[in-house]
Amino acid sequence: MSSGRADLVITGAQVYGADGWSSALAVRDGCIVAIGTEDEVRDQVGSAVDALHLPGRLVLPGFGDAHVHPPNAGRNLLTIALDLHSGRTEYLAVIAAYAAANPEVEWISGGGWAMEYFPGGLPTKEDLDAIVPDRPVFLYNRDVHGAWVNSRALEIAGIDRLTPDPADGRIERDPVTGEPTGTLHEGAAYSLADRFLPEPAQADWEAAILAAQRHLHSLGITAWQDAWVTPGTQQAYLALAGDGRLTARVTGALWWERAEGLEQIPSLLARREDATARGAGRFLPSTVKIMIDGVLENFTGALLEPYCDGCGGHTDNSGIAFLDRDELAEAVTALDGHGFQVHMHAIGDRAVRNCLDAVEAARTANGDSDHRHHIAHIQLVQPVDVHRFAALSVTANCQAYWAQSEPQMDELTLPYLGADRARLQYPFGDLRRSGARLAMGSDWPVTTANPLEQIEVAVTRVDPENRANPPFLPGQRLTLAEAVGAFTAGSAYVNHDEDDSGTIEVGKRADLAILDRNIFDRNTFAERADPVAEARVEMTLASGQVVYAR
């Protein structure tokens, strides 16, 4: 508790504090200095420079997104963001309009298309050739594990029927002629992008991050972990942090180039030291991101047993592990020894197990640490591996919005997993009951960045746009308090920021999300008149400053 005039007092609202409910709080110098009833807060701080009386509103800790891609999402917002649209016809209209409005752009790029709108999840070059025949087009899909390209892009890249598939990817081909059809998976897409797409200038990355920050703040998000920080985006973040335009707290996960191995560690250390020396404050690249496998929809997620063929039998394909088990253990052990947190992408059960084995190897070699390694996505987890998260102090980084029945799940995943494995997907409830710590992240622009939509799915396992659907594996539901906690305290923990954020307590930063209603009004979702995703963020405060107001 603290005496003295406050910068801001909020009254009349329902404040979701770490120690229970209250109706008022006060902020001074960016921190919470008093919580309680209106009279109690007024007694401690007297008058305030600003006062907000907010009856009926809910004050939550600012949300933290533990796995998100703001630079790429922001670039899409400024170019082609197909995740804001639906269907092949609409996609093509958006692409054609952008190309016509930007005749000077060398490469037409962006992303966000969904596999469900194309037969077999595979768009074709002919559609793009019809609207942009003279310039290359490269569009990542919504999960950024594949790309849709036109004939001009394939020509520039030298990809034809004789081009072999890379070891870490696949070129979709016509089954008769062998000609590339216009969809590239994993390494085939990344290699083209790395070699031929123009690298945005620093000013372009800064504009992209600011566009993304505006969107994330509008959703109550005050902190995030960027799960794909390149040298270019790092310099943009440092510039924004240096001049005060970065108002969020950002942990940067430096991208691990799987072809470079341990030789890249000195450069990763230098990048971390550069940010520390520059006193970036709001941006700290203290994490390394390793991609372990692909995704199930294009059969690159790494499985312990082969994929089904969709017709009751099995294939000979068990997916792709971008690093084998021993390589991954060596990398995680080395990074852990240098004080890095490791953020691992793992979709398939083999990938998840390899991640856990790698952390176990690091613990054996280096002893226990507080680096807070975490595994993102965890779509398919074998029951024998669930308890290992808590035993190894590995945080489960959940993308809750994916845990629902929708066309990509129903048509492109379930038939190729088979019934037994299908029941093991997104085991958030089992992880929580086993004692694992949960954090939540959106993976935006893969899917919505809205925490309230993601929280509703975590609680119901149902699509907020189709609430009459049956729940997807309802035994894995979280309670509302657990889901909110994963998006606030859990994300603050994984970002080593729990002493200063993640809960509403005296002494912590005033990172706050103010909602237009109390989503905790009823005991269960079934009794609640207004589902969680119907709530709206009215105001977002970062370090006590209003960064969004509706």
3-state helix, strand, coil in the chain (%, to 5): 35, 25, 40
The answer to whether residues 514 and 484 belong to one domain is no
User: Residue 144's pLDDT band (boundaries 50, 70, 90)?
Assistant: confident
pLDDT of residue 525: 44
Residue that terminates a domain, selected from 157, 181, 196: 196
Q: Is the residue at 81 inside a domain?
A: no
Considering only 162-166, 280-284, 390-394, which range has the smallest mean pLDDT? 280-284
**Model-wide pTM > 0.95:** no
Domain co-membership, 165 together with 211: no
Question: Is 82 within a domain?
Answer: no
- Residues 230 and 378 occupy one common structural domain: yes
The domain of 376 spans: 202-494
| CATH classification of the domain holding 540 | 2.30.40.10
pLDDT band at 1 (very low <50, low <70, confident <90, very high): very low
The share of the chain scoring above pLDDT 70, in percent, equals 98
Predicted local confidence at residue 143, as pLDDT: 82
Pick the last residue of a domain from 146, 174, 196: 196
How many domains does the chain divide into? 3
How far apart, in whole angstroms, are the C-alpha atoms of residue 532 and residue 513? 14
Q: What pLDDT shows up at residue 526?
A: 45
In this structure, what token pair is assigned to residue 365?
A: 């070699």
Mean pLDDT of 462-477: 96
Q: Establish if 277 belongs to a structural domain.
A: yes
545 burial (CB, 10 Å; 0-12 / 13-18 / 19+) is: middle
The domain boundary residue, chosen from 166, 196, 226: 196
What's the pLDDT score for residue 195? 94
Query: 331 and 313 in one domain?
Result: yes
**Containing H/E element for 355?**
helix 349-366
Q: Is the peptide bond before 231 cis (omega within 30 degrees of 0)?
A: no
User: Are residues 207 and 257 located together in one domain of the fold?
Assistant: yes
Q: By the 8 A CB rule, do 540 and 512 touch?
A: yes
| Average pLDDT, rounded, for the chain | 95
Is residue 273 located within the same domain as residue 354?
yes
To the nearest whole percent, how much of the chain has pLDDT over 90?
Answer: 89
Q: Is residue 276 scored above 80 in pLDDT? A: yes
Tell me whether strands 249-255 and 221-229 are parallel, antiparallel or unpaired.
parallel
E-strand spans in 41-178? 48-53, 58-61, 63-68, 108-113, 137-141, 146-149, 169-173
Picking from 333-347, 348-362, 363-377, 517-531, which range would have the lowest pLDDT averaged per residue? 517-531
Residues 354 and 431 in one domain: yes
Stretch 57-69: mean pLDDT, rounded? 98
Residue 74 lies in a domain: no
Which pLDDT does position 508 carry in this prediction?
98
Do 133 and 155 form a contact (C-beta atoms < 8 A)?
no
**How buried is residue 257: exposed, middle or buried, by Cβ count under 10 Å (0-12/13-18/19+)?**
middle
Give the model confidence (pLDDT) of 310-330 as tens digits.
888 889 999 999 999 999 999
Asked, for residue 121, whether it belongs to a domain, the answer is yes
Longest dimension (CA), the chain: 80
What confidence category does residue 524 fall into, taking pLDDT thresholds of 50, 70 and 90?
Answer: very low
Structural element, H or E, at residue 410: helix 407-412
pLDDT of residue 167: 87
Q: Are strands 31-36 and 537-542 parallel, antiparallel or unpaired?
A: unpaired
Write down the pLDDT at residue 327: 97
If asked whether residues 275 and 324 sit together in one domain, one would say yes
Does 97 fall in a domain? Answer: no
**pLDDT of 3:** 58
Residue 247 falls inside a structural domain? yes
Nearest to 344 by CA among 332, 336, 334: 332
pLDDT of res. 48: 86
Phi and psi at residue 113, to the nearest 5°: -75, 150
Q: What is the DSSP letter of 297?
A: T
445 and 330 within one domain: yes
**Whether residue 526 sits in one domain with residue 416:** no
Tell me whether residue 50 is in a domain: yes
- Look at residue 83 and tell me whether its pLDDT is greater than 90: no
Write the CATH number for 247.
Answer: 3.20.20.140
Residues 383 and 489 in one domain: yes
Is the domain of 436 the same as that of 516? no
pLDDT, one tens digit per residue, over 11-60 is 999 999 999 999 999 999 999 999 999 999 999 998 889 999 999 999 99
At 138, which CATH number? 3.10.310.70
Q: What digits encode the pLDDT tens for the residues 174-205?
A: 999 999 999 999 889 989 999 999 999 999 99
Query: Hey, which bits of 246-401 come out as E strands?
Result: 249-255, 283-291, 341-346, 374-377, 395-398
Q: What is the mean pLDDT of residues 96-117?
A: 94
